[in-house]
Amino acid sequence: MPTTPSGDPGNTSRRRAQGTPVNVTVEITTITGEQAELLHERQSLAIKEIITWLTTRNQK
């Protein structure tokens, strides 16, 4: 069974009923300066943690 990075079983069911419309709203916010640098660092760390988790989860 797939798990999340925390080790808990994730919800692997992503299906929706046939014919059910999907409404999506996207909001884009551009940030610059120090805020952008901090966000870049946080995202890079999160990606690194996920890649590490993916590469080690099946090596048990």
User: Average pLDDT, whole number, for the chain?
Assistant: 81
CB atoms within 10 A of CB 53: 14
Q: Residue 9: pLDDT above 70?
A: no
Q: What is the pLDDT of residue 1?
A: 46
Q: What is the pLDDT of residue 58?
A: 77
Within 8 A by CB and 6+ apart from 16, the residues are 22
Q: Residue 44: pLDDT above 70?
A: yes
Is this prediction's pTM over 0.85? no
Q: What is the pLDDT of residue 7?
A: 56
Q: Please measure the distance between the N-terminal and C-terminal CA atoms of the chain and give it in whole angstroms.
A: 14
Q: Residue 34: pLDDT above 70?
A: yes
